[in-house]
Amino acid sequence: MPYDTVDRPEIEIMIHEFYTRILEDETVGPYFIRALGDDLNGPKWYEHFNTLYNFWVLIMTGKRGYGGDPYPPHAFIGKLYPETFERWLEIFHEVVYEYFTPEIADKFYKKAEILAEQFMDNLGVNDEDDDDD
Ligand code: HEM
């Protein structure tokens, strides 16, 4: 049964599953492995998970905890392409709709889409850009 409420415990379970699938993905996985390694139980991932739990708790419930800016790290993790974001969103979509009722999943996914769009704008990553620079 998908969760019909959203708070930190449900977020932790879903987010952990999301990154488990991300690490297995050929397109998006390598960015995370380069930045944080491939051991989801290691100290780097422990910290990253905590940041992400706080981030999504703030977005989905308004509860404080995350006080950062999600964009900056993405400028330093290697060149990102529209396909990288598409795949990230595809996996996120898969997981949120598996774990949450559609109404809650919609909210997660809309927020992720908006942020992905903003990151792409900030990074100059977009479909019309055919240059290979
Ligand atoms: C192409 C897709 C993406 C890739 C490859 C990617 C990769 C990464 C990596 C490797 C980090 C860790 C950087 C570090 O600590 O050294 C990170 C951090 C983070 N990402 Fe992404 N990301 C992507 C899209 C997104 C999207 C769409 C969101 C939001 C919905 C997001 C939210 C975050 C947040 C909140 C952090 C933590 C920022 C902080 O430290 O305060 N990412 N990302």
Band (126; pLDDT cuts 50, 70, 90): confident
Compute the distance from residue 32 Cα to the ligand 1 centre, in Å.
9
pLDDT digits (tens, 9 = 90+) for 2-50: 999 999 999 999 999 999 999 999 999 999 999 999 999 999 999 999 9
Would the CB of 45 count as within 6 Å of ligand 1?
no
Domain residues for the domain of 51 are 8-123
* Number of domains composing the chain: 1
Minimum-distance ligand 1 atom for the alpha carbon of 85: 1
Task: Look at residue 39 and give its three-state secondary structure.
Answer: coil
pLDDT score of 63: 97
User: Considering only CA atoms, which residue is closest to atom 34 of ligand 1?
Assistant: 70
Q: What span, in angstroms and rounded, lies between the C-alpha atoms of 76 and 36?
A: 13
In a domain, 129, yes or no: no
User: Considering only CA atoms, which residue is closest to atom 36 of ligand 1?
Assistant: 70
pLDDT digits (tens, 9 = 90+) for 53-90: 999 999 999 999 999 999 999 999 999 999 999 999 99
Band (128; pLDDT cuts 50, 70, 90): low
Nearest CA to 65 out of 87, 81, 49, 44 is that of 49
This prediction's pTM: 0.94
In a domain, 1, yes or no: no
The secondary structure of residue 72, as a DSSP letter, is G
In a domain, 132, yes or no: no
CATH of the domain at 104: 1.10.490.10
